[in-house]
């Protein structure tokens, strides 16, 4: 497929007084027909709940090759790991997640569809043609709400969801939404940061987008793409993720991200809907974070002795080197890394030179000089006597 067709960025639309944000389908995407409907991020006031897509992708999306899923599944499929999805909810009606979704406090309904789409990227099993699956199709999903019914995020909901997920034994906690605000105690960021610290104490790995899927509006009414802090991604123990497309670069005009840990496939991504076997297409850092959460589930299943911090370290140190390291799920499973970071080498002791007195040094110098003088005198005498001896044919003088 031509290179320029793979780099098509997703357009954003806003409608109604409360915007219903969607991602318009690209001109073409590897394995994704143009007719796939766009993923919705928010609901407008007059929108109705998401329904099934009438179109299915028949070819495997580019994300499968980028993450080397076929090779990774030979080692792990995420079995035995619970991934919490804190988002707009996760529909238990989607066939790709049938029997593997446990919902908390009504999170089993998803009017927006974003949470179900993200959960599918993490753990969807093959259905229909089997072209579209999640990264860890053997994992189970714990659904919790981080938004209201229309997809508007809340710091209080996200913080409560993180704590509840940690208490319920989730090994990986995916947060599909971001909040901005003060990181101080009692602020939006502070509430979420405290919850992330609580999850770390429970040995749960939190993964979150480093930026929103849609840039906030600036004072001039235009999208403000400047990097800024978002929570929970700004918490040091959280793995923060941004998106890249098939060419390995971020889409144009993507929201700025502040010091992300990883980059993962997030542009022109194909996934499941709230029901039926059809597919949608979307873009954004939240979808990239879902792929990283799936990779973390593969790791926690394959190497259950690793702590959450060790899983985070492994994901980052085995990533493909780039300006922002790119997720490599297979390398994360197979790379040989030391169990702990190597300690800094001890500073070597300075070389000890035996102490020599001035008299001793002078004596040795005189001995060496005298020996050299003696050799010189012997050579001089030989230069005189040898010719004389030859002239007399080595006979004594008369």
Q: Are residues 231 and 83 in the same domain?
A: yes
Average pLDDT, the chain: 84
Assess if residue 219 is contained within a domain.
yes
Tens of pLDDT, residue by residue over 240-286, are 999 999 999 998 889 999 999 999 999 999 999 999 999 999 999 99
Q: Are residues 298 and 369 in the same domain?
A: no
User: In this structure, are residues 188 and 181 in contact, taking their beta carbons and an 8 Å threshold?
Assistant: yes
Assess if residue 352 is contained within a domain.
no
Active site residues: 87, 114, 286
C-alpha 337/C-alpha 343 separation (Å) is: 14
pLDDT category of residue 4 using cuts at 50, 70 and 90: very low
Lowest mean pLDDT among 198-207, 225-234, 272-281, 357-366: 357-366
Q: Is the pLDDT of residue 166 over 80?
A: yes
Pairing of strands 239-244, 262-265: parallel
CATH code: domain of residue 113: 3.40.50.200
Q: Are residues 79 and 162 in the same domain?
A: yes
What's the pLDDT at 10? 37
The tokens for 388 are: 């004389």
**Domain tally for the chain?**
2
C-alpha 23/C-alpha 18 separation (Å) is: 16
Beta-carbon contacts of residue 342 (< 8 Å; ≥ 6 apart): none
Owner of token pair 């050299």:
372
Assess if residue 271 is contained within a domain.
yes
User: In this structure, are residues 341 and 314 in contact, taking their beta carbons and an 8 Å threshold?
Assistant: no
Which of 334, 349, 375 is the endpoint of a domain?
Answer: 334
- Integer CA distances (angstroms), 148 to 15, 132, 198, in order: 19, 28, 23
User: In this structure, are residues 174 and 295 in contact, taking their beta carbons and an 8 Å threshold?
Assistant: no
Assess if residue 93 is contained within a domain.
yes
- Integer CA distances (angstroms), 22 to 19, 25, 37, 162, in order: 9, 9, 10, 26
Assess if residue 354 is contained within a domain.
no
Q: Are residues 233 and 164 in the same domain?
A: yes
Query: pLDDT > 90: what percent of the chain?
Result: 67
Q: Are residues 289 and 396 in the same domain?
A: no
Q: Are residues 244 and 363 in the same domain?
A: no
Q: Are residues 102 and 196 in the same domain?
A: yes
Tens of pLDDT, residue by residue over 286-324, are 999 999 999 999 999 999 999 999 999 999 999 999 999
Which string of DSSP letters, residue by residue, matches 167-200? HTT-SEEEE---B-S--STTSHHHHHHHHHHHHH
Assess if residue 47 is contained within a domain.
yes
**If DSSP codes are grouped into helix, strand and coil, which group holds residue 22?**
strand
Q: Are residues 254 and 398 in the same domain?
A: no
* Mean pLDDT, range 330-351, rounded to an integer: 67
Nearest of 241, 218, 238, 281 to residue 62 by alpha carbon: 281
Q: Is the pLDDT of residue 358 over 90?
A: no
Sheet (strand 82-87) strand order: 101-103, 140-145, 82-87, 172-175, 205-209, 239-244, 262-265
Which of 318, 334, 350 is the endpoint of a domain?
Answer: 334
Tens of pLDDT, residue by residue over 72-88, are 999 999 999 999 999 99
What's the pLDDT at 21? 53
* Mean pLDDT, range 366-386, rounded to an integer: 64
Q: Is the pLDDT of residue 147 over 80?
A: yes
Which of 334, 350, 383 is the endpoint of a domain?
Answer: 334
Q: Are residues 323 and 394 in the same domain?
A: no
Q: Are residues 264 and 386 in the same domain?
A: no
Q: Are residues 321 and 374 in the same domain?
A: no
User: In this structure, are residues 142 and 84 in contact, taking their beta carbons and an 8 Å threshold?
Assistant: yes
What's the pLDDT at 90? 98
What's the pLDDT at 394? 54
Q: Is the pLDDT of residue 8 over 50?
A: no
Count of beta carbons in the 10 Å neighbourhood of residue 291: 30
The domain of 33 spans 7-334
Q: Are residues 363 and 321 in the same domain?
A: no
What's the pLDDT at 370? 65
Beta-carbon contacts of residue 107 (< 8 Å; ≥ 6 apart): 89, 90, 115, 143, 144, 145
Assess if residue 343 is contained within a domain.
no
294 compared with 392, residue with greater pLDDT: 294
């Amino acid at each position: 497929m031509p290179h320029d067709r793979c780099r098509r960025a997703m357009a954003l639309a806003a409608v109604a007084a409360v915007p219903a944000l969607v991602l318009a389908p690209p001109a073409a995407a590897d394995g994704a027909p143009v007719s796939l409907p766009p993923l919705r991020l928010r609901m407008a006031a007059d929108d109705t709940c998401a329904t099934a897509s009438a179109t299915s992708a028949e070819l495997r999306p580019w994300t499968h090759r980028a993450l080397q899923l076929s090779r990774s599944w030979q080692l792990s499929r995420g079995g035995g790991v619970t991934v919490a999805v804190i988002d707009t909810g996760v529909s238990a009606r989607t066939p790709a997640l049938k029997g593997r979704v446990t919902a908390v406090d009504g999170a089993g309904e998803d009017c927006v569809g974003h949470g179900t789409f993200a959960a599918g990227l993490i753990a969807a099993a093959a259905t229909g043609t089997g072209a579209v699956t999640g990264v860890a199709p053997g994992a189970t999903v714990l659904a919790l709400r981080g938004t209201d019914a229309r997809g508007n995020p809340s710091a209080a909901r996200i913080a409560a969801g993180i704590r509840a997920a940690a208490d319920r034994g989730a090994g990986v906690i995916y947060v599909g939404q971001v909040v901005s605000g003060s990181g101080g105690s009692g602020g939006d960021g502070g509430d979420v940061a405290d919850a992330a610290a609580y999850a770390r104490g429970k040995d749960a790995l939190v993964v979150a987008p480093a930026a929103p899927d849609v840039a906030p509006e600036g004072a001039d009414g235009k999208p403000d793409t400047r990097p800024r802090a978002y929570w929970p991604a700004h918490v040091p123990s959280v793995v923060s993720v941004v998106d890249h497309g098939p060419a390995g670069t971020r889409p144009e005009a993507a929201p700025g991200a502040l010091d992300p840990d990883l980059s993962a496939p997030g542009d022109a991504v194909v996934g499941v809907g709230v029901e039926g076997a059809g597919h949608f297409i979307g873009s954004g850092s939240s979808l990239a974070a879902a792929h990283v959460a799936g990779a973390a589930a593969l790791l926690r299943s394959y190497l259950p002795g690793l702590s959450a911090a060790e899983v985070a370290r492994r994901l980052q140190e085995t990533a493909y080197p780039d300006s922002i390291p790119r997720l490599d799920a297979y390398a994360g499973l197979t790379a040989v890394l030391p169990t702990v970071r190597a300690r800094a080498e001890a500073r070597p002791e300075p070389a000890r030179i035996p102490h020599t007195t001035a008299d001793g040094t002078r004596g040795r110098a005189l001995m060496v000089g005298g020996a050299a003088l003696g050799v010189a005198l012997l050579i001089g005498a030989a230069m005189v006597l040898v010719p004389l001896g030859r002239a007399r044919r080595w006979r004594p003088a008369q």
